[in-house]
Chain A
Amino acid sequence: DIQMTQSPSSLSASVGDRVTITCRASQSVSNSLSWYQQEPGKAPKLLIYGASTLQSGVPSRFSGGGSGTDFTLSISSLQPEDFATYYCQQSFNAPLTFGGGTRVEIK
């Protein structure tokens, strides 16, 4: 199985800050990497797929980058509604695997 490791596991930031989350795969997943946002008690919401393609309806302050084993999710200017937990997921091969999550909290 491909192991996905996210860092940090949590971070504190203020509204307006730029935030970057990292996801590392245990082997190359090419660009088959997606990012989700999950608010408490809700289903995950797809933000980015193909490492850098923004899902329809997702604000442009979200961006993704990377390929191979190292990926990033950036939020250019953190908004109140962005405080949530973020997960990466590889779809290079089965079994599909997710990172452990990064919780973004209000400073």
Chain B
Amino acid sequence: QLQLQESGPGLVRPSETLSLTCTVSGGSISSSSYYWAWIRQPPGKGLEWIGTIYYSGTTYYNPSLKSRVTISVDTSENQFSLKLNSVTAADTAVYHCARPRGPTVTTWVFDNWGQGTLVTVSS
């Protein structure tokens, strides 16, 4: 059974870089059928897609965050990562990693999720 687990600091200072890792178990991140994604949810608010990556390194980012976001993959560790720079309090959220059902945008609905990790941006 596929499992995703987020890890990283729970507190980040304003203007610094948020860094999270998602470890995938029960399946290979290098499967040709799957992409991998980051989604966030500010406390008490709705969901926001951050971006999606293929194991080859091809990425798709939300234009609203594109200038600050980097998603990368480490196939040797079966992990993918998120970096968000120049953070502000507005970036405080629960960050989830997730796997979409298929390889095309129309199949980017998420049937496997990590439990999520709260990242607070505060000095």
Which residue numbers of A lie inside 8 Å of B, CB to CB?
Answer: 1, 32, 34, 36, 42-46, 49, 55, 87, 89, 91-101
B26 interface residue per 8 A CB criterion = no
Contact (Cβ within 8 A) A99 B108 = no
Chain B neighbourhood of A97, CB < 8 A: 49
Instruction: Give min CB distance, B63 to chain A, whole Å.
Output: 6
A49 touches B114 (CB 8 A): no
Return the chain A residue nearest B97 by Cβ: A43
Known: A42-B115, A43-B114, A95-B64. A49 touches B109 (CB 8 A): yes
Sort chain B's interface into a size bin.
20 to 34
Chain B residues within CB distance 8 Å of chain A: 46-49, 60, 62-64, 96, 98, 101, 105-111, 113-116
Q: List 11 A-B contacts (CB under 8 A).
A: A32-B106, A42-B115, A43-B96, A43-B113, A45-B113, A49-B109, A87-B47, A91-B105, A94-B62, A94-B105, A96-B108
A94 contacts which chain B residues (CB < 8 A)?
60, 62, 105, 108
- Alpha-carbon distance A95/B88, docked complex (angstroms): 22
B63/A95 in contact, CB under 8 A: yes
- Among candidates A1, A44, A49, A91, residue contacting B47 with C-beta atoms closer than 8 Å: A44
Q: Is A98 touching B105 in the complex (CB atoms < 8 A)?
A: no
Residues of chain B contacted by A93 (CB below 8 angstroms): 105
Q: Chain A nearest CB: distance from B100 CB in Å? A: 8
6 tightest A-B contacts by CB? A43-B113, A34-B109, A96-B49, A98-B47, A95-B62, A49-B109
